[in-house]
Amino acid sequence: MKKLDRINELVDELNELKLGCMAASLDSLYHSKSFDELDAVSLLEQVIGPEYQNKTSQRFQNRLKRAHLAGGPQSLDKCKDSTERVYLPSDINATLSSLDFIREGLNVCILGPSDSGKSYLAKALGIQACLNYRAMYHHCEEFLETMVALKQADYSKYQKKVRFYLKLDLLILDDFLLHTITDEREIKVLFEVMEKRSELSRCTIVCSQREPNSWASMILNDEVSANAILKRATKHYTVVIQPRN
C-alpha cells in the first residue's frame, strides 16, 4: 500500500473515532514539506497536540456552562489592589489564585459593601477552578428557595440534588444572607449543605455584604444556627474588599 493510501486510511479511521483535529493535523502534516523530516515523537506531538487542546478547551467550556459561569469576563489578574479597592489581608488573592484551598477543602468568605467586587472575585476563582475542578455558582437566596421547593415536592430528588452538591469541588453562594431568612426550612437546607460539605472537606465560597456578627439577625435571630453556619463559612479564609474613597 502506498504511503498516501495509508495516510488517507488513518485519517478516515481518526475521523470515525471522532478525532477530527488529529485527522486534520495528520493530513496537513503529510502534505507539508517537513513531514519526512519529522521523527516519530515530533510527529506524535504535532498530531496529538491540537486534539488534546481542543478536548481540553471543550471540557473547560462545558464545565463553565454547568457551573453557570459561561461567558464571564472575570479574571484573577484584575483582582488586585488598585485606586478603586484594596483586598485584605494583603496578598490574599495571590494565596487564593493557587487554588490550593479547593484541593485542601478550605472555605472562603468574601466580605465587602455592595459593588465592591465580591462577586467578581468569586466568579474569577470559579472560572479558574473549572480548568481542573467541578464548580457551581448560585445566588444564595435562589438556591435555597429552589432546594426547599424540591424538598417539599419530591424528597428523593432533593436527596439526589444534595448528593450532587456534595460532590462538587467548589460551591459558590453569592449574595449570602442578602435578605432575612424567614423560612425555617431554608435555614435547615443551608445548614445541611454547609455542614455536610464541611465534613467531606469540600470547598465553599460565600460572598456577603453583611458582617458575620450580624448574621444571627438575618436568620430568624436563631443564634445556634447562625453560629454553626458562621463557624463553617469563616473557618479558613476571610477576604475583606474595601473600596477606596
Determine the Cα angle at 63 with ends 61 and 66, to 5°: 110
Q: Are 101 and 203 in contact (CB under 8 A)?
A: yes
Residue 234 Cα distances to 108, 132, 204, angstroms: 7, 24, 10
Cα–Cα dist 166/236, whole Å: 19
What does the block give as the cell for 94? 495571590
Classified as helix, coil or strand, 69 is coil
Q: Is 172 exposed, middle or buried (0-12, 13-18, 19+ CB in 10 A)?
A: buried
The whole-model pTM stands at 0.85
Q: What pLDDT is recorded for position 1?
A: 59
pLDDT tens figures, 120-145: 999 999 999 999 999 999 999 999 99
Determine the Cα angle at 222 with ends 192 and 208, to 5°: 70
What's the whole-number mean pLDDT along residues 13-32? 87
The string of DSSP letters for 32-53 reads STTGGG--HHHHHHHHHHHHHH
DSSP 8-state class, residue 157: H
Q: For the chain, state the CA radius of gyration.
A: 24
Strand-strand pairing, 108-111 and 237-243: parallel
Q: Is residue 222 scored above 80 in pLDDT?
A: no
- What are the structural domains, with CATH classification, of the chain? 3-66 (no CATH), 82-243 (3.40.50.300)
Q: What pLDDT is recorded for position 240?
A: 96
Give the H or E element holding residue 155: helix 155-167
Task: Count Cβ atoms below 10 Å from residue 231 Cβ, excluding itself.
Answer: 13
pLDDT tens figures, 41-80: 988 898 898 888 888 888 999 999 999 999 888 999 999 9
Cα–Cα dist 139/128, whole Å: 19
Q: Is residue 151 scored above 70 in pLDDT?
A: yes
